[in-house]
Amino acid sequence: MASTGEYKRDSNYITDRITADGDDWPVEAGRYRLVVSRACPWASRAVIVRRLLGLESVLSMGIAGPTHDERSWTFDLDPDGRDPVLGIERLQEAFFARFPDYPRGITVPAVVDVPSGQVVTNDYAQITLDLSTEWTAFHRPGAPSLYPKELRDEIDEINDVVFRDVNNGVYRAGFASSQSAYEDAYGPLFSRLDWLSARLSSQRYLVGDTITEADIRLFTTLVRFDPVYHGHFKCNRSKLTELPVLWAYVRDLYQTPGFGDTVDFDHIKRHYYVVHTSINPTQIVPVGPELSGWLLPHGREALGGRPFGDGTPPPPPPADEVVPASHQP
């Protein structure tokens, strides 16, 4: 936190990469485990990309619980409180296995090398790009192109401004400790949402006519907007349901296989309202908002576009990765 009350995100991550021709960390089926929490928007990106590309059988996934303490995410969803593949109770153990004095936050998503039990990377932005570009030998037949070469410059440009003003903007508003810092985040956030509304009023997706990495990165913030960011983070000029274009856009994605079936609204709310005690000291978790609207027709098909391009939708998620029905609309 800056002296001005502005929230500063720690952007120093473990930047090792798993690549097709890597020496230390080569792409290998079954070698790595993706550790996530369905509560976390940064981790949810990796969950969606893995699912759309059909990597479930080659990159296993451990799901941490929605809450954590200062020591890190825990595997309290598993029957014995241990990840069944890594055998650890806390993600922290994988970080310390490689860096005994690791000084930074223990964050998800993280990719862990199963044989050694050591973390490889928690660089969330690069993880999804590498799943698209380095793991191609294991993509399912019909996997979409989420980061096509001919659109990468435009995707990167969109991702940069969306990260600054929206993905991180809600946090800058929510964690601000001064009025001026809060307002400095609040204004650009809603200006960018208005800009996105204008862009998406005439095209179905952010870049090109298919779903790309840019849509995934925006989706994971928008899907949390009304449940947590509007009230908990004081991003309250408008609810998402009051922004017609963005509300239709995010419903379109939510109803697309690989998106909504990865979303756990219960975990999302419990994480923010229970963990952030400086903002919500009572830890009371709101009952609302009403979720049935997520399944209403969105009408975005009229703009054209093909969700998966020349590819196909992913099959249903594996049985052990299905979100409980009570945590969805």
Note the pTM of the prediction, 2 decimals: 0.97
Residue in 63, 57, 105 with CA at minimum distance from that of residue 81 = 63
Question: What are the structure tokens assigned to 325, written together?
Answer: 């029905």
Q: Does domain 32-138 have CATH number 3.40.30.10?
A: yes
What is the rounded average pLDDT of the residues 192-208?
A: 98
Per residue in 110-123, is it b (16+ CB within 10 Å) or e — as a string?
bbbbbeebebbbbb
Q: What is the mean pLDDT of the chain?
A: 97
Average of per-residue pLDDT across 94-110:
96
Residue 136 near residue 103 (C-beta atoms within 8 A)? no
pLDDT at 13 over 60: yes
**Catalytic residue chosen out of the listed positions 7, 13, 102, 171:** 171
pLDDT of residue 205: 98
Q: Give the residue extent of every domain in the chain.
A: 32-138, 152-327
**171 in active site:** yes
CA atoms within 13 A on the CB side of 64: 28
Confidence grade of residue 304 (pLDDT, cut at 50, 70, 90): very high
Query: Regarding the domain delimited by 152-327, which CATH topology (the fold level of the hierarchy) does it fall under?
Result: Glutathione S-transferase Yfyf (Class Pi); Chain A, domain 2 (1.20.1050)
Catalytic position from the list 32, 40, 124, 205: 40
Q: What is the pLDDT of residues 207-249, one digit of tens each?
A: 999 999 999 999 999 999 999 999 999 999 999 999 999 999 9
Q: Six-digit token pair at 160?
A: 């940069």
Classify burial at 79, counting beta carbons within 10 Å of its beta carbon; exposed 0-12, middle 13-18, buried 19 or more: exposed
| End-to-end CA gap in the chain | 36
Nearest partner of 314 among 274, 236, 259, judged by Cα: 259
pLDDT at residue 286, as a whole number: 97
pLDDT above 70 (res 266): yes
